[in-house]
Amino acid sequence: MLKKIAPIAIAVFMCAGAAACASSSSKGNSGGDSAAEVVVKGEFSADSAYEFIARQVEFGPRVPGTAAHDSCAEFLISEMERIGVDSIIVQRGEVTAFDGTVLPICNIISGINVDKARRVLLAAHWDTRPWCDRDHNPEKRKHAVLGANDGGSGVGVIMEIARNLVQNRPDIGVDFIFFDAEDYGDASGFSDVPESWCLGSQYWAEHLIPYTVNNMPVYGILLDMVGGQNARFHYEMFSREMAPTPTMKVWSTAARIGHGDRFIQSLGGAVTDDHVFLCRAGIPTTDIIEMINEETASFPPTWHTDHDNMEHIDKASLRAVGETVLNVLYNEK
């Protein structure tokens, strides 16, 4: 995934992030403050989300045009059916990557409470990058990324959220889109253009399935790299500029339910991700993504390397994100 971080912004805002972290409270401790009463609705299971990720990873890298990619698509479709969503649309198409490769893509679109006009969209990319181009070992750079965190984690958390929402319906409609071909972009440097990434969401935005003018989602939440070890999530710059309402809802909800130590209320960097193209399509969408890792001061150390595997998935990170998003949805009327 392209993740273009503005170094100046990071340098400036990292100090603020550290300060916000220090003032966070632990989950479940409302401290007797009735205005900040902690009510965590739903039963988000980090074990279940972890399992949803592991099932994807078992297919191997999910690069468009490969058998593993096709098999995983079938798994995701059948699993959403089993979870019990009300609708599933499989959008297939072809896109051309920056290097001329024609990619057969598959966006998987589902939803619950399909009769509700007020809707929120949850999204994640499910494909994985064809190259470990950030790996320290040059040999491994030719291999595809396994994508436990970068690809698997957002989808796994959304699947577990969907499982909750089917069993305990919110007052609104919720849609889930698993975008393809997010991570086939050009990272060569100077020729790097944002539009070479997020090909699945750009394709989707041309059609906006299944929406009409009457039921467009009021906002969206994108989950990307949400399962890293001790992951923390800062405000992403484009999200705060183009989608301030969902950004504030997510981060304030996290603070209210005791995940303020994970959702840091300060600016991280600017990241080109699927939410940029959703915002351009008229759906203000915030991106929950780890972009200031304590070790790298950037994306998680496994990012676009051979180490993006299940060993580095942190259930506590999954829980913080899953409970937060679930509570945002249950508080919508």
Q: Which positions lie near Zn ion, rule CB under 5 A?
A: 1, 129, 150, 183
Question: For residues 3 and 97, what is the distance between their CA atoms, to the nearest angstrom?
Answer: 17
If the CB atoms of residues 127 and 160 are measured against Zn ion, the closer one turns out to be 127
CB 285 within 8 A of CB 243: yes
Helix, strand or coil, per DSSP, at residue 110: strand
Q: Shortest distance, CB of residue 207 to Zn ion, whole angstroms?
A: 24
Nearest approach in angstroms of CB 183 to Zn ion is 4
Minimum Å gap between C-beta 304 and Zn ion is 6
Which residue has the closest beta carbon to Zn ion?
A: 1
Q: Closest approach of Cβ 158 to Zn ion, in Å?
A: 17
| Nearest distance from C-beta of residue 151 to Zn ion, angstroms | 7
Half-sphere exposure of 242 (CA within 13 A, CB side): 22
| Contact status, residue 103 vs residue 181, Cβ threshold 8 Å | yes
- Closest to Zn ion by CB, 180 or 183: 183
> Least distance in Å: CB of 63 to Zn ion?
12
Minimum CB distance to Zn ion smaller for 24 or for 229: 229
Q: How far is the CB of 265 from Zn ion (least distance, A)?
A: 25
Compute the least distance from the CB of residue 197 to Zn ion, in Å: 8
Toward Zn ion, which CB reaches closer, 46 or 148?
A: 148
Structure tokens at 89: 């649309």
Of 107 and 113, the one with the shorter C-beta distance to Zn ion is 107
Q: If you search the block for the tokens 């609708």, which residue do you land on?
A: 87
Sign, Cα dihedral of 317, 320, 323, 324: negative
Q: Do β-strands 173-179 and 87-96 pair in parallel, antiparallel, or remain unpaired?
A: unpaired
Choose between 4 and 116: whose C-beta lies nearer to Zn ion: 4
Kindly tell me which of 164 and 285 has the beta carbon lying closer to Zn ion.
285
- Smallest distance, Å, CB 182 to Zn ion? 7
Residue type, position 209, single letter:
I
Residue 112, strand partner residues: 174
Based on its alpha-carbon atoms, the radius of gyration of the chain, rounded to whole angstroms, reads 18
CA dist 26 and 16 (Å) reads 19
Would you say 133 or 332 has its CB closer to Zn ion?
133
Q: Which amino acid is at 12?
A: V
Q: Quote the crossing angle between the two packed helices 46-57 and 315-330, to the nearest 10°.
A: 110
In our burial notation (b when 16+ CB lie closer than 10 A, e otherwise), range 41-76 reads ebebbbebbbebbebbbebbbbbbebebbeebbebb
290 CB-near residues (< 8 Å, 6+ apart): 225, 226, 228, 231, 232, 233, 299, 300, 317
> DSSP H helical segments within 185-224, as ranges?
199-205
Q: Which is nearer to Zn ion, 1 or 161 (CB)?
A: 1
